Amino acid sequence: MYIDHVSNFQVIHGLLDLLMTKVGAKFVKDYKLVEDATDPRWFNGGIAVMLGGIRVGTMGVLHPDVMRAYQLDYPVSAVELDFDKLFAHFLSKNGDENESTSE
């Protein structure tokens, strides 16, 4: 979560890109960001984080109603991730690499 006078969504996006790199996922090839207008927590809907066709999280700028409910005075950008799914991807990538190097 990032809170400041402006949302600075790019900070959260950069964090997601770094994390995905660490688990061996490449943008577009392995993971994609898909608009999700149905999630009311986010301003203008959120962005679904898809890894290998599986939804592993959501990110966006919190909706003003959510900010008021938690008494947040400044815009908040956040990312919510399912780390079990991320680690499963990491382990499957490392397992594939270990098998190919042992042949």
User: Of all helices (H) and strands (E), which one includes residue 3?
Assistant: strand 2-3
Q: Is the dihedral of CA 74, 63, 60, 58 positive or negative?
A: positive
In this predicted structure, what is the pLDDT of residue 42? 93
- pLDDT tens for each residue of 14-58: 999 999 998 888 898 989 999 998 889 999 889 999 998 999 999
* pLDDT for residue 47: 95
Q: What is the CATH classification number for the domain harbouring 70?
A: 3.30.930.10
Alpha carbons within 13 A on the beta-carbon side of 85: 14
Q: Say if strands 2-3 and 76-81 run parallel, antiparallel, or are unpaired.
A: antiparallel
Q: What is the pLDDT of residues 69-102, one digit of tens each?
A: 999 999 999 999 999 998 888 888 776 554 444 4
Domain that holds residue 88: 2-94
83 domain residue, yes or no: yes
Residue 62 has pLDDT above 90, yes or no: yes
Torsion of CA 39, 36, 24, 53, to 10 degrees: 110
What is this structure's pTM?
0.79
Number of domains in the chain: 1
Q: Quick one: pLDDT at residue 4?
A: 77
The answer to whether residue 99 is domain-embedded is no
Specify the DSSP class assigned to residue 53: T
Q: Based on the number of CB atoms within 10 Å of its own CB, is 4 exposed (0-12), middle (13-18) or buried (19 or more)?
A: exposed
Kindly state whether residue 100 falls inside one of the protein's structural domains. Answer: no
